């Protein structure tokens, strides 16, 4: 139990970062219909189930062309 308490100052910011990235990526996937690779369902699953790497992969490889019309 003491080991967990020692790691909390490191774990809490990582968890907040992970959730923030996942939420931002998920909102982007839902709002934008164009992707470089794959489809909406595939990107939702990647963002939700591949933890911190999934949202980063989406923003690097999956996000389509920028759409300034909204």
**30 burial level (CB within 10 Å; 0-12, 13-18, 19+):** exposed
* Per-residue model confidence (pLDDT) at position 68: 47
Q: Indicate the domain borders of the chain.
A: 10-62
The model carries a pTM of 0.73
Tens of pLDDT, residue by residue over 5-54, are: 899 999 999 999 999 999 999 999 999 888 888 889 998 999 888 888 88
Alpha carbons 2 and 46: distance in angstroms, whole number:
34
């Amino acid at each position: 139990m003491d080991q967990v308490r020692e790691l909390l100052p490191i774990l809490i910011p990582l968890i907040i970062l992970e959730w923030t990235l996942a939420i931002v990526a998920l909102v982007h996937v839902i709002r934008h219909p164009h992707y470089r690779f794959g489809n909406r369902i595939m990107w939702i699953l990647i963002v939700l189930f591949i933890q911190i790497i999934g949202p980063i992969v989406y923003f690097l490889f999956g996000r389509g062309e920028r759409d300034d019309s909204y």
